[in-house]
Structure 1
Amino acid sequence: MDNEMTLSFLARSENEALARVAVTSFIAQLDPTIDELAECKTIVSEAVSNAIIHGYEGNEFGVITVHAVRNGDNISVAIKDEGRGIENVEQAMEPLFTTKGEMERSGMGFTIMESFSDDLQVESALGKGTVITFSKRISPVRAVVM
């Protein structure tokens, strides 16, 4: 392990931006491409939004923890809540599946997270919460020699 960080915050929508900024600042040490930063920001946004909307269902006093580890060119980020958990992870990860249709949710969060990461793991237990972990190899931008 080359470096790591942990950030905990309340399950409030305004803290989604805090999580994105913290993770992208941490990843910036690897000199990622703009696309890689955007993909990681999107994954973090989706995971934190899921924790707020589905995990805590409006309980702004729930805590979300983001833990990131850098090892060489690889980054691993875990987003954890201690909310209600996911009853059926496999079903929840199906494209277009949503339990919050009344909120105009598209049901594409997990699909987007999977497409932008090298590996995505979802662990959940009813009444205990969910951990979404993604890993991604960062391809540093190399300086052009003239």
Structure 2
Amino acid sequence: SPSPSPPPPPTPPPPSPPTAPPLPLPPAIGTSTISSAISCSSGEWKEEVGWSLSCSDNTTLSGGAPYTSSLPLAVALGATCTLDMTDTSGDYYSYSYGDGWNGAEWAAPGFGQRFSLEDGNKGTKSFVVQVQPPSPPPVPPSPPPP
């Protein structure tokens, strides 16, 4: 009877994929960014509210009211940002009285900033993006003196 055929030579294991490069380390100070959600509430006349943010790291964003960013906006730490606020009529027939935003407020809590156009047709606010300190814990009341 024919002898059993020898077992086939073992197949070498497939080459393993190259290992993924290690995750980059956090950037050095100077290239860090701070992120913040950006929102603008409506106020009484939301159609008159307009704003445009431009920062020294070339980050820009603009919108109206109400507005809520879908993703947090990342801006370089130390960048100077300028918020241009406008109070304009959105259509031909309505007229903006130059009375500001009527209660609408622009906010970037991650940058520790909140602004509103109190009056007039336009206003500009500038701020530097900095790390916001965590809110301090509540201080326990001191015991009354004896």
Sort the TM-score into its range (normalised by shorter chain).
0.3 to 0.5
Higher relative contact order (CA 8 A, sep 6+): 1
- TM-score (normalised: structure 2): 0.33
- TM-score (normalised: structure 1): 0.33
Q: Which has the higher helix share?
A: 1
